[in-house]
Amino acid sequence: MAPSSRTSFVLASRASKLAQIQTNIVRDGLETTFPALSFGTSFMTTEGDKNQSQALYLLGGKALWTKELEVALKENVVDMLIHSLKDVPTTLPHGCEIGAILERENPVDSLVVKQGLPYRTLEELPEGSVVGTSSVRRVAQLRRSFPGLAFLDVRGNLNTRLAKLDAPDGPYTALILAKAGLVRLGMGDRITADLTPPILFHAVSQGALAIEIRADDQEARELCKALTHQETQWKCLAERALLRELEGGCSVPVGVSTSLSQIDKSAGKLTRATLEITGCVTSLDGSVHVQDTLSQEVESIQGAEELGKNLATKLMVNGAKVILDDITQDRRKRASEAETAE
């Protein structure tokens, strides 16, 4: 039911082309569902957008992409924040909450080969080929299967990254990018091949959009309910619970793959399903890889989150904690070296 006291809401996101497209997807959904209300948009540049020179691994957590937006939300300048859920910290600031998780695009990563080159798979790339990605998760996992490839950081929005890839004098043979972003930008034709488990497990919540709202904004919460896709919600919240327990941030090599089966619904609402979640943690050089899977019938969001937490505990006992501790030490050392160099 549409709220009665407010008739207009402002949606905000980062200023990149992809973020604007994603915000417009949400706005269009709200306008279709609530035609009597009006929905405006506002786009902001975040710290993560401003710092395009330093590796994400050294920059730290996901708040880089959300902090400025959350200030505007808490000060009532805007009413809803539209995020790629994979960029949202697993613990939100006090007074903020996830109001909706929309139906997920295909969450896999994709190989994009430089224009004019004949290669169709990672296996076909010549030894020493340079593959661009800013994700230590991708690098760590791919080093296990492709030790002959070289990996190089690449920053910028998708258009910028593709321009760097295709530049005749550029170093890159290929990039690894999230399929969902390419599809939403209308660049699906650039995808050379999808990279799926067990070769590459995707990031937590990859491919899903989320709406962040003020925790005391009941009107916005009611609007968000209409856009929530429960199957995506259960899977993504299980993944986020796994990551939260592992204390993994934006630049930690945690990969996942999640599925729902034997789905039961009542009055159109999800009431029970078998949830299977696989998680992995990989050392930065790819030499150590800890992976496990749990499957269980769940009947609520809480049940899904509990399964994710249980998988995290299992991974930690089996060696993930040692990997994550080593990564934390390595990041501190390299960040300190970078500061000294400056």
Catalytic sites, residue numbers = 87
**Residue with tokens 């009542």, as numbered in its chain:** 266
Q: Which DSSP helix (H) or strand (E) runs through 214?
A: strand 209-214
List strand residue ranges (DSSP E) for 89-192, in order: 96-101, 109-113, 130-132, 150-152, 174-178
Rounded CA separation 81/67 (Å): 11
Q: Which DSSP helix (H) or strand (E) runs through 17?
A: helix 17-33
Tell me which DSSP letter residue 263 carries. Answer: E
Q: Write the DSSP assignment of 19-81 as a string of letters.
A: HHHHHHHHHHHHHHH-TTSEEEEEEE--HHHH--SS-HHHH-SGGGGTHHHHHHHHTTS-SEE
Contact present, 141 and 200 (Cβ < 8 Å)? yes
Measured in residues, the chain has a length of: 342
Alpha-carbon separation of residue 246 from 98, 235, 312 (angstroms): 20, 17, 6
Instruction: Tell me the Cα Rg of the chain.
Output: 20
Kindly give, in sequence order, each residue whose CB lies less than 8 Å from that of residue 341, ignoring residues fewer than 6 positions away.
none
Contact present, 14 and 78 (Cβ < 8 Å)? no
Alpha-carbon separation of residue 159 from 25, 123, 257, 303 (angstroms): 20, 26, 27, 40
**Residue with tokens 């020493």, as numbered in its chain:** 128
H-state helical runs in 226-320: 230-246, 301-315
